Structure 1
């Protein structure tokens, strides 16, 4: 290969001389990435993380990184003829992800542990492991695109808006982005991915997508918190916005901002929603739907991927997403002197909760400009 010709991963050398570590969850996406790269002649090394007790994981279906998934990843590696390693990251995962998840919930926030896992485990410790294996890059099965811009690699939304995972990868740093590759990001449907899996004869071609957070079986967050923090589900009062007692609840951890059902409040003409959680007073504060609307969102721990640095006093037109299931909406980003920022939404949104991510996008096009974490902020 001529030195001025880049291979499909962006290196000026033949695929056979390009080592790539593929982060394999055992699902169809990462399996296809590994199989495709191997078929193109790359020096592929598969790595799967064991994030919690292997025996307990075997019983969980619909969760990523479970024991059966480790087995599936190994089978793919054997069928395609590349080495595969399982790394025990249980302690790292507990310290970096699960413990914070529990503390955030106890503080009345709504955490997004999948983002922290990408930030603190997969794109940090695993990425360093890939470097230790002398890999030229690390590839994943995420649906997001890495494009080369005028000032280096840029992060862009996936070709398929329905599978775009940019919300979960906003904290990817420029240094990490230079080392990462996302071979599926340009695909326009999951059917294309499954067709590639079938082409390679992969046993996971028809495997269902994971739905639950890997350590939260059946989506029951409260049961996990109670196991991690015994006594966390202490009862308290449900009060209106004026502080009047309306009912008793069974623990703040059982409620989320915007929740309407299961409040146990009857006899009222208009429905009430959870508008605030006060774990210190063990109170669930409820109010009318309009009380959920927010125009200003305080954000901290900002990861910025724009071409020019953020500075206080700027007013940057962006689009933003505060939930992974919502499309980006027009907003203004205002950096503050203390390193935090405010995002002013042009149209108020409901259910904005501390602990969620607020992801920034360019006003037009698909570029991801970074993001931060929503917090309560200082009174203004």
Structure 2
């Protein structure tokens, strides 16, 4: 077998790529993490002002990786979820007590997750941090035992790895260089995010409110704050971002209602374009694709990051099993196990979030009536309710070891 510099080369130091580095530690692998931005939570573009709803399964994975303790103090548990449509009689209500868990999920600021993961990376054995550096090219020769990656560093430096993992975002250079096509659908909307303080306590309830203009979500945070994700049609975004605090608070009240009273202490607003992306392939010889490089979702149900972390847990387990069996971790026969394992979860989650997005913007009265009846039926039919709730918590289907609290070496 030809000489290699690394067993695994992870391209992308965002939360998903960095989490994979944590997951693979302890497997006696030579690992490198390549990231174009300086490796600091204050500098990395994915560690921004957004908040993330971590599913119960994601919490368990972070616990197994030793990351949860540093997040627990600032994580706000979601005890209940309330789903409704403005102007409609139907609603649905999810409660952690019905599922026998302490919370349906947890709300954590992305910057704090980044800080926790990045603090752990330098302590991991066998992991080299190549930051800042960016991938210039990737080549996979037929029948080669490694992939070759070019990293410009004054002069081009080439590295060879048995496996390259693309965790390099929705515009993945690796995916594009390898000619792996991806379905992309622009929703024509942006998510305007902010932190607000409502007049009434949130009581650890998360709200998903559908309107004819798009959904608005309020997630419980520490200090009785709420994280707002308000969907705005593209043409209206500049006007919304130009609103003062009072104007934005009035917009939220019109969209969300007065369930939590008026909104005060409204924080800085930011906008992010919304689109659906799904790679046609998630594995090739010597290459695995994870996180946003494989799939980017509408935030309507808060599933995007959780789906990426489940990619991490599954790929890490496939690599560990192959390592234990003395198999080539970059061989397509091994990586196909990862792709096959993740296919059902990815398809189900993408279909669910995309269907919700399209269904709740349809203004036709028969569709509106069907939506409200569907919400009521969902709330009163426990088997369907439990199935969807378990899936949204990341506890459905075949669970990776890390999501069951088991180390990869067990």
Give the TM bin, normalised by the shorter chain.
Answer: under 0.3
TM-score (structure 2 length as normaliser):
0.26
More helix by share: 2
TM-score (structure 1 length as normaliser):
0.28
Relative contact order: is structure 1 or structure 2 higher (C-alpha 8 Å, sep ≥ 6)? Answer: 2
